[in-house]
Amino acid sequence: MKNNFPALLLLVAAMASCRKDGNPPVSTPSQTFTLQQHPAEKAYPGIQGRVIGIQHGSDSIFVEKKGGGYVWMGDILLDEQHFNAMKKSGTITTDRTFTEDYTRLWPSGQVFYALDPNFTATEQGFINDAIADYQNNTPIRFTARTNQSNYIYIQRGATGTGLYSTSIGMAGGQQIINLEGGMFGPGEIEHEMGHAIGFYHEQCRTDRDVWINVNYNYIYPNTQSNIYQYQTYDEIGSSGWQIDQFDFNSIMLYSSYDLVQPGTNNYPMTLTNGQPFNSQRNALSAGDIATVFYMYQPVYVRATLNYTDDENDQTYQHSEGTVSVNFYSDAAGTVPATLTYPLELNYAVVTTSDCSGTMGVENTFTIIPAGNPGTVTIGNFSMTYTYDSQMDPLTCYSQTTGVAPGVGYWQIY
């Protein structure tokens, strides 16, 4: 039977930051933040567990075994299943300050949650304030769970459990935000909610050395798991990609006073002039808000095959041309989009060289600059088939470039 060259191949690419704004020190136009000394969010802060290193390419991922789980990045508590999956794959998403794995975003920004009944009225008010800040300023919508399978359980943790989330982004099934009673206000809740929707810590940006100094020798206790919390994604073996500048107002940023040895002024992080800085847990910053919009209210992209040659008869079929993309602000693909920030567009080249349909896939990406991108050519396509008198294929070759899923855009057809 004669083959039909597909109009467009849908390709699945593997995962993806915090893109932030701000100059040190910056307040958003609509609110003034109180920068204070306060402890960084930690899981089981009073316990020093066993540090475990997991090989990740030529580098290592460090977790700390404590509290019945595995603490990663200070306040992410992995259960046995997720830890084993990390060990097996060695591919936890670590190349951005927000996740670029589109499968870990909550569909349409709808986050289902259930609430521990043991919170006090005051604590319940803090949770309501945190939810309101997200809902008033971002596309995220928190909805009380009825029977949804994917949801967050916000639990009132016992003394010593600290503050933590069990996932970066949507994990699938139940995931936990743990809030130790008496140890949190709305800002700490928003920090952990940030992890649950896909945020990493701000100090992990690959461009952070332009803005701050990180002194690894001053981290206390000086364990590999604590050091790991301050390393950039380049330093742990992954390339970074940020949009906008380091955000000193981010609710995801540690202060200079976290993990400091008691009785010293040896700060793990300072400004580039050596002065310490505080952080804030008041509300989402302008950079935090922009990041949520980038993740959950993306632009739309449509790929088009532009034919430069098209031949077809009984025994021979050949087509070739270029593959271009256009960006839109609406799902119908009628209003051209202006990109507020640069966009990393994932795509893949798929090749078949035999008639069995065996495919080779090469994934890559291109950076689309901010502004009006217009039409962008991302690659080529080519197809040649020959047939016998029964119209069965004798030789088969095809190569095409297709848009792959990612964060910051949705594909339309």
pLDDT per residue as tens digits for the range 104-140? 889 889 999 999 999 999 999 999 999 999 999 999 9
Looking up residue 229, the CATH number of its domain turns out to be 3.40.390.10
**Are 324 and 338 in the same domain?**
yes
pTM value is 0.77
Domain with 369, as residue range(s), is 298-411
Shared-domain flag, residues 70 and 181: yes
Q: pLDDT (tens digit, 9 = 90+) per residue, 210-235?
A: 999 999 999 998 887 788 788 876 66
Neighbours of 277 (CB within 10 A): 19
197 and 95, same domain (yes or no): yes
Per-residue tokens: 278:
């505080």
**Structural domain contains residue 147:** yes
Are 259 and 310 members of one domain? no
Asked if 350 and 236 sit in the same domain, the reply is: no
318 is in an annotated binding site: no
CA distance 301 to 360: 24
As given in the structure block, the two tokens for residue 34 are 């109180």
Considering the domain boundaries, does residue 41 fall inside one? no
- On whether residue 39 sits in a domain, the answer given is no
Task: Work out the pLDDT band at 158, boundaries 50, 70, 90.
Answer: very high
Residue 396, domain member (yes or no): yes
Q: Are 328 and 275 in a shared domain?
A: no
Catalytic positions, written as ranges: 192
Task: List 113's β-bridge partners, or say none.
Answer: 144, 152
- The pLDDT of residue 21 is above 70: no
In a domain, 253, yes or no: yes
364, 263: one domain: no
Q: How many domains does the chain have?
A: 2
What distance in Å separates the CA atoms of residue 149 and residue 153, rounded to the nearest whole number? 11
The DSSP-derived string for 81-106 is HHHHHHHHH-----SSSB---GGGSP
Asked if residue 15 belongs to a domain, the reply is no
- Token pair listed for 14: 């593997």
Instruction: Determine, yes or no, domain membership for 10.
Output: no
Nearest residue to 40 (alpha-carbon basis) of 345, 250, 224:
250
d(CA 304, CA 311): 19
Q: Is residue 5 part of a domain?
A: no
Same-domain status, 287 and 307: no
Q: Based on the fold, state whether residues 258 and 307 are members of the same structural domain.
A: no
Same domain, 277 and 311: no
For residue 228, the model assigns a pLDDT of 78
Question: Where are the alpha helices (H) located in 71-197, listed in sequence order?
Answer: 80-89, 121-137, 186-197
Are 376 and 232 in the same domain?
no
Q: Which residue, of 295, 328, 345, is where some domain finishes?
A: 295
Of 295, 329, 346, the one marking the end of a domain is: 295
Please check whether residues 285 and 404 belong to one and the same domain.
Answer: no
Tokens matching residue 312: 């077809």
CA separation for the pair 3, 55 (Å, rounded): 44
